[in-house]
Amino acid sequence: MGVLNEKPATKRNSPIDRPLDVDANIAWGSDVAAQVLRRLDIPYIALTPGASYRGLHDSLVNHLGNQSPEMLMCLHEEHAVAIAHGYAKATGKPMAVALHSNVGLLHGSMAIFNAWCDRAPMLILGATGPVDATLRRPWIDWIHTSQDQGALIRNFIKWDDQPGSVAALPESIYRAWQQTATAPHGPVYVCLDAALQEQAIVDAVHIPDPARYRPARASRPAAQTLREAAEVLARAKRPVVLFGRCRRTQEDWDRRVALAERLGAAMLSDLKVGSMVPTDHPLHVDEPFNQLSKPAKAALQEADAILSLGWIDLGGALRQAFGRDHVPATVIHAGDDIHLHNGWGKEHMEMPAIDIHLLGDPDAAVADLLDALPAGSGRAPARAAPAQAPEQPEDSGDRINLRQVATTLAQAVGDQPVTFAALPRAWPVTLWAHRHPLDFLGKDGGGGVGAGPGTTIGAALALEASGRLTVGVLGDGDCLMSINALWTAAHYHVPALFIVANNRSYYNDELHQEGVARTRGRNIANRWIGQRIDNPAPDIAKMAEAQGVTGIGPVRRVDELRAAIRRGVECVRGGNPCLIDVHIDPGHGRHLRESMAERSMAKGS
Ligand SMILES: Cc1ncc(C[n+]2csc(CCOP(=O)(O)OP(=O)(O)O)c2C)c(N)n1
Ligand SMILES: [Mg+2]
C-alpha cells in the first residue's frame, strides 16, 4: 500500500498539466479507484469535471500525478465519450471516461449510444451526490443525486454498478473492465458515490492484482457447427463472404483474405465497419457500401452459399437482395452480437434467415474455417474488379467536389498511410482503396450527428506514434455540433487533420424533405428551408482558430485547394491539429435515392 506503480510519463503529460507534487499514500476512497485504473494500465481518462467526482479528480491529480491514466480535458461530455470511442475504434481497446453525476451523464449519453451501437469498449466512471442524504449539501447535492443513475443509460451499455463501500470498489471496476474488454464489446458504467470517494480510509483496502480478473478470450464457434459450415463452403460454387465487424489486426486481415481466396468467394464490404479486406482485391465486388449496391445485390442473388462474418445488418442485406422471398443460398453467420441484444434497442436489426450459426468471434471462425477447409482448394477469382485509374483533380471551376478533395489529399500525403477516422456519405471510396485494417475506421455506430470531431481526436491520439496520418472528413453539421471538441486537440497537441466537407446544409435531411414533398405533390424547391446552414455560413476555420487549432479556409475554389491541403498536412505532420474548411458543391455525388432508399424498400417499391 502507498507504493505507486510508476509508469513512464506519456508525451501528452505537458508541464502545464503536471502537479507540483503527489501524495503517494492511499488515504481516501477515491485513491483506491484511481489505483485500480492504474493497475489496469489505462492510458487516458477523458473528462469534463464536476464536483460529484471531485474526490476522484483529486486522486487522479494529487495521488497519481496525472499519469497512467492521464486526463484529457474536454469542453463537453459528448466529446469525452466520443474521444474514447475513436480510441477504441483504432485500437480495439477501452480507455476511461469520467462523467459528472446525472447532468454530465445526460450530456454524454448520445455519444454512449453511438459507442454502444458500434460495439466499442469503454470504461465510464460516473458519480452521484452522496447517497446518504445526511451528507448532502443543500440544493446542489440534491439535484445532482439520482436514484439508480445507471438507469439513464442501462438500455445501451453492457453492464453497470454502483459499489456500496470503498472495499467494494476494486471488484466493481475490475468487473466493469472485464465486461467491456470481453467480446462482444460495449461501454460499461460504474457510478461512484461522492461520499465513498471522499471517505477517509481507516483500514487498508486490499487491491488485488488484476492478472486473475482479465477479460476472457473471444469465444470460438462449436466444432461440429464449424465442420458443417466448412462442408457447405467447400461444396459451394458461388460463395459470397460479407465482411462485417471483425478485428483490426493485420493477421486477422490476412486470414480473411486467405479464406476468400481459398473459397474463390465474392467479397463484400460495409462502410459502417470500415476497412476489413482490401477493396481493390480482384474478388472484391464493387465498392464498400452502406445500403447494398447493385453489384452486391447481384452477387447475393447468384450465391449458393453466403458467409456473414459479423455483418451488422444481415437481415437487411438479405431483404434488399431478395425482398420477402425465400433466400436460396445456404446462409452461414459468424458472430457473437446476439449476446448484447436486449428488449429496448432494435440495433439487432431485422432477423436474418440463418442455416448455420457460428456463435462466437468471427475472426476465430475464419481461422478455424481455414484449418478445416482443404488447402489448395483455392478457386480462380470468379469476378474481376474493374481497374481503377487514379484521377487527376480538375484545376478549373468554382465548385469543389469530394473527388477533388480526395485526389488532392492523396497527392499531398504521398506514400504516408492515412487513417480515415470519419468519412462523409459522398466520399468517393473507389478513388481510395482500403488496403490496411486502419485505412478506414467505419461510421459512428448510432447515427448520432456530432461524433466526428471527437472520434477523430481519439483515433489520432491512439495512432500518433504509428506513422499514419489521421484524417476526419466531416460534414459541416457534424463538425459544428462538436466544434469545441477541437480545443482538446489543441491543448494536448493531438495530430489530427479535420477536413470539413462543407455543403452549408444538413444536406441529408434536405434530400428527405425533397422526397416527402415529391410524394405529396408539393414544391420540392422548398426543401432547403429549415435545413441550410447559411446566411451566414459559420466561419468554421475561424471557429477552429478560436479553439487554438490552425484553421484554413473557407476554401471555395479548386485552385486554392492544393495549397490548403498541403499546408494542413504539414501542420499535422508537425504534431498539431489542423482544420480545413472546404466549401463543396452540395449536390455532387449525392442523390435523393440514397437517403430515401429505406423508405421505398418498406413500401416494397
Ligand atoms: C444528434 C442528431 N441530430 C440530428 C440528426 C439527423 N441528421 C442526420 S444526417 C443530418 C445532417 C448532417 O449534416 P452534415 O454533417 O452537414 O452532413 P451532410 O448531410 O450535409 O453531408 C442530420 C441533421 C442525427 N442523425 N443526429
Ligand atoms: Mg452538411
pLDDT tens, residue by residue, 105-150? 999 999 999 999 999 999 999 999 999 999 999 999 999 999 999 9
Percent of the chain with pLDDT over 70: 91
Q: What's the pLDDT at 399? A: 87
How many A from CA of 487 to the centre of ligand 1? 22
Q: What's the pLDDT at 17? A: 87
Residue owning grid cell 451566414:
536
**CA 301 remoteness from chain centre:** 31
pLDDT at 525 over 90: yes
Residue owning grid cell 480545443:
487
472: phi then psi, degrees, rounded to nearest 5: -115, 115
427 lines ligand 1 (CB under 6 A): no
pLDDT at 213 over 90: yes
Residue type, 162: Q
DSSP letter (8 states) at residue 289: B
Cis peptide before 390 (omega within 30 of 0): no
Q: In the predicted model, what is the mean pLDDT of residues 140-169?
A: 97
Percent of the chain with pLDDT over 90: 88
C-alpha pair distances (Å), 566 with each of 327, 391, 396, 562? 50, 18, 18, 6
Atom number of ligand 1 nearest to Cα 503: 20
Angle at 108 between CA 103 and CA 111, to 5 degrees: 160
160 lines ligand 1 (CB under 6 A): no
Q: Which three cell numbers stand for residue 275?
A: 476497412
58 lines ligand 1 (CB under 6 A): no
DSSP letter (8 states) at residue 284: B
Residue 160, classed as helix, strand or coil, is strand
How many A from CA of 590 to the centre of ligand 1? 14
199 lines ligand 1 (CB under 6 A): no
Ligand nearest to the CA of 587: 1
Rg (CA), the chain: 25
Q: What's the pLDDT at 593? A: 52
How many A from CA of 509 to the centre of ligand 2? 9
Residue 434, classed as helix, strand or coil, is coil
**399 or 418: whose pLDDT is higher?**
418
Task: Please report which confidence band the pLDDT of residue 550 belongs to, taking 50, 70 and 90 as the band edges.
Answer: very high
Q: In the predicted model, what is the mean pLDDT of residues 193-220?
A: 95
Q: Which three cell numbers stand for residue 530?
A: 429549415
472 lines ligand 1 (CB under 6 A): no
DSSP letter (8 states) at residue 129: S
DSSP letter (8 states) at residue 524: G
Q: In the predicted model, what is the mean pLDDT of residues 64-87?
A: 97
How many A from CA of 442 to the centre of ligand 1? 17
Atom number of ligand 1 nearest to Cα 508: 19
CA-CA distance, 520 to 514, in Å (whole number)?
10
Q: In the predicted model, what is the mean pLDDT of residues 588-602?
A: 54
Ligand nearest to the CA of 475: 1
Task: Please report which confidence band the pLDDT of residue 7 belongs to, taking 50, 70 and 90 as the band edges.
Answer: very low
DSSP letter (8 states) at residue 282: T
- Count CB neighbours of 575 within 10 A: 11
Mutate to test the pocket of ligand 1, among 109, 290, 449 (most ligand atoms within 8 A of CB): 449
478 lines ligand 1 (CB under 6 A): yes
Q: What's the pLDDT at 9? A: 41
Identify whether the C-beta of residue 499 lies closer than 8 Å to the C-beta of residue 473. Answer: yes
Residue owning grid cell 471555395:
556
Q: In the predicted model, what is the mean pLDDT of residues 157-166?
A: 98
Task: Please report which confidence band the pLDDT of residue 4 belongs to, taking 50, 70 and 90 as the band edges.
Answer: very low
The torsion defined by the Cα of 346, 349, 350 and 351, in degrees rounded to 10, comes to: -100
Atom number of ligand 1 nearest to Cα 501: 21
What's the first-to-final CA gap in the chain, in angstroms? Answer: 68
Q: What's the pLDDT at 2? A: 31
Residue owning grid cell 465548385:
399
pLDDT at 160 over 90: yes
C-alpha pair distances (Å), 412 with each of 19, 335, 461? 40, 39, 22
Residue 10, classed as helix, strand or coil, is coil
**How buried is residue 258: exposed, middle or buried, by Cβ count under 10 Å (0-12/13-18/19+)?**
middle
Task: Please report which confidence band the pLDDT of residue 382 belongs to, taking 50, 70 and 90 as the band edges.
Answer: low
506 lines ligand 1 (CB under 6 A): yes
How many A from CA of 543 to the centre of ligand 2? 16
pLDDT at 517 over 70: yes
pLDDT at 456 over 70: yes
Q: What's the pLDDT at 11? A: 56
Q: Which three cell numbers stand for residue 285?
A: 465486388
pLDDT at 442 over 90: yes
Identify whether the C-beta of residue 220 lies closer than 8 Å to the C-beta of residue 50. Answer: no
How many A from CA of 358 to the centre of ligand 2? 40
How many A from CA of 123 to the centre of ligand 1? 27
Identify whether the C-beta of residue 409 lies closer than 8 Å to the C-beta of residue 434. Answer: no
pLDDT at 481 over 70: yes
Angle at 141 between CA 137 and CA 144, to 5 degrees: 175
Which residue's alpha carbon is at the smallest distance from atom 3 of ligand 1? 449
Identify whether the C-beta of residue 334 lies closer than 8 Å to the C-beta of residue 310. Answer: yes
CA-CA distance, 500 to 326, in Å (whole number)?
44
Which residue's alpha carbon is at the smallest distance from atom 23 of ligand 1? 506
Task: Please report which confidence band the pLDDT of residue 173 belongs to, taking 50, 70 and 90 as the band edges.
Answer: very high
452 lines ligand 1 (CB under 6 A): no
How many A from CA of 269 to the centre of ligand 1? 23
**CA 446 remoteness from chain centre:** 9
Which residue's alpha carbon is at the smallest distance from atom 4 of ligand 1? 449
Atom number of ligand 1 nearest to Cα 533: 16
**108 or 587: whose pLDDT is higher?**
108
323 in the Ramachandran plot: left (φ > 0), alpha (ψ -120 to 50) or beta?
left
Task: Please report which confidence band the pLDDT of residue 460 belongs to, taking 50, 70 and 90 as the band edges.
Answer: very high
CA-CA distance, 544 to 395, in Å (whole number)?
27
Q: What's the pLDDT at 386? A: 47
Mean of pLDDT over the chain: 92
Residue owning grid cell 506503480:
5
Cis peptide before 8 (omega within 30 of 0): no
Ligand nearest to the CA of 453: 1
Task: Please report which confidence band the pLDDT of residue 585 belongs to, taking 50, 70 and 90 as the band edges.
Answer: confident
How many A from CA of 531 to the centre of ligand 2? 9
Q: Which three cell numbers stand for residue 255?
A: 486470414
Residue type, 88: A
Q: What's the pLDDT at 387? A: 42
Identify whether the C-beta of residue 190 lies closer than 8 Å to the C-beta of residue 126. Answer: yes
Find the range with the poorest average confidence among 256-270, 312-326, 588-602: 588-602
Residue environment code for 78-114, b if the CB has 16+ CB neighbours within 10 A, otherwise e: bbbbbbbbbbbbbbbbbbbbbbbbbbbbebbbbbbbb
Q: What is the pLDDT of residues 424-436, one digit of tens each?
A: 988 998 899 999 9
Q: What is the pLDDT of residues 393-413, one digit of tens each?
A: 444 467 899 999 999 999 999
Mutate to test the pocket of ligand 1, among 109, 505, 506, 533 (most ligand atoms within 8 A of CB): 506
Bridge partners (DSSP) listed for residue 419:
470
- Give the H/E segment covering residue 300: helix 294-302
CA-CA distance, 569 to 577, in Å (whole number)?
9
Which residue's alpha carbon is at the smallest distance from atom 18 of ligand 1? 507
Q: What's the pLDDT at 15? A: 60
Q: In the predicted model, what is the mean pLDDT of residues 437-449?
A: 97
Identify whether the C-beta of residue 61 lies closer than 8 Å to the C-beta of residue 113. Answer: no
Q: What's the pLDDT at 84? A: 98
Q: In the predicted model, what is the mean pLDDT of residues 46-54?
A: 97
Tally the C-alpha atoms within 13 A of residue 240's C-alpha that lie toward its C-beta.
Answer: 25
Q: What's the pLDDT at 380? A: 54
509 lines ligand 1 (CB under 6 A): yes
